[in-house]
Amino acid sequence: MDIVEHILLSEETLQSRIRELAAAVSRDYGDETIALICILKGGLMFLCDLAKHITSPVTYDFMSVSSYGDATQSSGVVRITKDLEESIEGKHVLIVEDIIDTGLTLSYLLKNLESRNPASLKICTLLDKPANRQVEIPVDYVGFEVPNEFLVGYGLDFKQLYRNIPYVFVAKSHYYQKDN
């Protein structure tokens, strides 16, 4: 694909790290039921692959928040566009997210979910891009720390495309810079 500058995380690299994360999660939660909360749409691929390898009992629910729109810069505006279907009160909640960039999305979500009185609330992110962080976020599980580049694939989109690509790549800058 012309948009690919280079592949950052291959399918094999992603899958083997995700198995390690699932093992760590399973060890920590044991027989407790985990309420996995997938942040759509980016967290979907990660949720599926992670959940397959978790041995603790799990439930899923989905939430959608807007922070980026189709632009490649965080707007700082966070809004719930789809809320959970079930109550999380008294449950062990694990947020499953694709990437933490500025941290604005998760900072808002943490406050929002905390106010619903879960028994515990943790974060599992596949990618962590610390260079852009604007608010500190307590992250419990991180797949990979990544450089401050515009990443696409395995959940991450460019104009809603390429979320289905099984690896993470750095996009050629001329693709997104002309949009800003």
Does residue 118 belong to the site contacting Mg ion (CB under 5 A)? Answer: no
Binds 102: which of Mg ion, ligand IMP, none (CB < 5-8 Å by kind): ligand IMP
CB-count exposure of residue 69 (10 Å: 0-12, 13-18, 19+): exposed
Whole-angstrom distance between the N-terminal and C-terminal Cα of the chain? 22
Binds 68: which of ligand IMP, Mg ion, none (CB < 5-8 Å by kind): ligand IMP
Tokens of 66: 């807007």
Respond yes or no: is residue 61 known to be catalytic. no
Q: Which is nearer to ligand IMP, 57 or 147 (CB)?
A: 147
Residue with smallest beta-carbon separation from Mg ion? 42
Which residue in 47, 92, 98, 118 binds Mg ion (CB under 5 A)?
Answer: 98
Let me know: does 72 contact 176? Beta carbons within 8 Å: yes
Q: What are φ and ψ of residue 99, in 5° steps?
A: -155, 145
Q: Which of 49, 98, 101, 128 is catalytic?
A: 101
Binds 150: which of Mg ion, ligand IMP, none (CB < 5-8 Å by kind): ligand IMP
Rounded CA separation 10/15 (Å): 9
